[in-house]
Amino acid sequence: MENKYELATFAGGCFWCMVKPFDEQPGIKRVISGYTGGSVENPSYQQVCTDTTGHYEAVQITYDPEVFPYEKLLELFWQQIDPTDPGGQFYDRGQSYQTAIFYHNEMQKKLAEESKKALQESGRFSKPIVTPLLPAKTFYPAEEYHQQYYKKNRAHYESYQIGSGRAGFIQKHWGDESDK
């Protein structure tokens, strides 16, 4: 039964903000906060924050594609980020907070390319979509205190969503669509 699940990996800025939207969907088995894309093995949060390891803060999602297909994961991903910002996300700046889609196979790459093109052509954003599509690399789970942060530290999580500008941006660009 385990083999029906697949992996999806997305970098969308602060990984605290990327867990909840996916965690609450049907067909999602697990969402892990972590680091990927860099050159240092088993990096710590402190190392990644220096922007010297090449890692992105990311989430790795274990999902059932028959219940929640990759295309729907992509739709939800785009609704959580500013895909036009090459320097990070909202309040968080630097390479580790940049966005990326890490594809695990050629089908994910093709679907991500199509999704990115459709978003660009939609006219929803006035600037170009700069989120890169990159081959998946080793994913290192973040420290335990980062896992399921929105559940462990609800008040801080909610104030961060608002204070960072993420919540307002999502509402402005997606409105009620982001609640799906």
Catalytic residue numbers read 14
Q: From CA 49, how far away is CA 40, in angstroms rounded?
A: 13
47 contacts 40 by C-beta, under 8 angstroms: yes
| 3-state secondary structure (DSSP) of residue 110 | helix
Element (H, E) at 9: strand 6-12
List alpha helices for the chain, DSSP H: 16-23, 45-49, 70-78, 106-122, 149-152, 154-163, 166-174
Q: Which contacts of 3-6 are long-range, i.e. CB under 8 A and separated by 24 or more positions?
A: 4/64, 4/65, 4/66, 5/29, 5/62, 5/63, 5/64, 6/62, 6/63, 6/64, 6/65, 6/70, 6/104
19 contacts 146 by C-beta, under 8 angstroms: no
